[in-house]
Amino acid sequence: MGRRRKGEAISGWLCFDKPRGLGSTPAVSRVRRVFNAQKGGHAGTLDPLAEGILPIALGEATKTIPFMAEAAKTYRFTIAWGSTTTTLDTEGVVTATSEVRPDLDSLRAALPRFMGEILQTPPAFSALKIDGARAYDLARAGAEVVLAPRPVLVHRLVCLSAPDRDHVELEMDCGKGVYVRAIARDLAEALGAEAHVSWLRRTRVGPFTEAGAITLESLEALCHRGAASVALLPVETALDDIPALALTDEVASGLMQGRAVMLLPRQVDLLKGRLEASRIVAAFSGSRLVALCEARAGRLTPVRVFHL
């Protein structure tokens, strides 16, 4: 008999506004304690020095985390001219300085080079693994970290303001795997300057935006009133781009037992033109999410079953 998990079987997504100084994994632990939830996870790591949107999944919602991997993200960040650091942010040791302060015209002229599909070399201080070890652990130990450039997608990169000659604020919409610190590094290099990221806030991850975000303080205040659950979003929040299919209770029961079921001709017609390459469908019984299934050859085969 398996060991019973501690905590309550609470399921849902939280659009968490992570404060600066709190790591992503500790943030999940804090949220789990607030809800006394059995399990949790997050979609899209934020560095401890970064703040903003960190989607946190509790319970059955953790099964939908992989479907957030391709979610588009938006960042606002400030570049500080004059010095480059080992970490490319304020945490690191200064490695180079310069008196160059790029003007706004030069900066804006350089931005298109960093839009579209570009090759980006991740920072040495990153969570990527090299032979099983985290790159940032190797870098902190003084090892030489060499990471290969990889293709990433930047949809939009604009200058918002320049509060003074030493700082400029930008906003970026991008796909997965883009490092803001690498953007700052490469932009500075293109402009013959030295720079690092002095402030970073993520404002969107897929369907999770600032409008629906909650801070740790607000969440704890709700908890004291016994109302923390009002902050939870449905498990299916992460499945916005996946076609939904309504099923009868009888068919849904078969899926929940792990059995493949046949689709009716009208259901096959309903899915035509809506399926992505993965052919994944979200199956519902009424308003209840039952399973994520692969739709193929007129059949639904359960891939992830939910117990909600």
- Residue 216 and residue 288 share a domain: no
pLDDT for 261 equals: 87
- Residue 198 and residue 103 share a domain: yes
Look-up of token digits 């739709």: 295
pLDDT for 1 equals: 47
Range of the domain at 225: 12-69+207-237
- Residue 218 and residue 201 share a domain: no
DSSP label at residue 242: S
With 0-12 / 13-18 / 19 or more C-beta atoms within 10 angstroms meaning exposed / middle / buried, residue 136 is middle
Q: Rounded to whole angstroms, how far apart are CA atoms 206 and 223? A: 26
pTM of the model: 0.91
Angle value at C-alpha 181, between 180 and 185, nearest 5 degrees: 120
pLDDT for 3 equals: 62
Last residue of a domain, one of 197, 216, 237: 237
pLDDT for 4 equals: 65
Across the chain, which has 308 residues, the per-10-residue mean pLDDT values are 73 97 94 93 91 97 92 97 96 96 96 97 83 79 82 97 96 96 97 98 96 95 89 92 88 89 84 77 91 89 91
pLDDT for 277 equals: 65
Active site residues per annotation: 47
* DSSP-derived 3-state class of residue 244: strand
Domains: count for the chain? 3
- Residue 127 and residue 171 share a domain: yes
245-to-53, 146, 282, 283, 286 alpha-carbon distances in Å: 29, 46, 6, 5, 10
Within a domain: 1: no
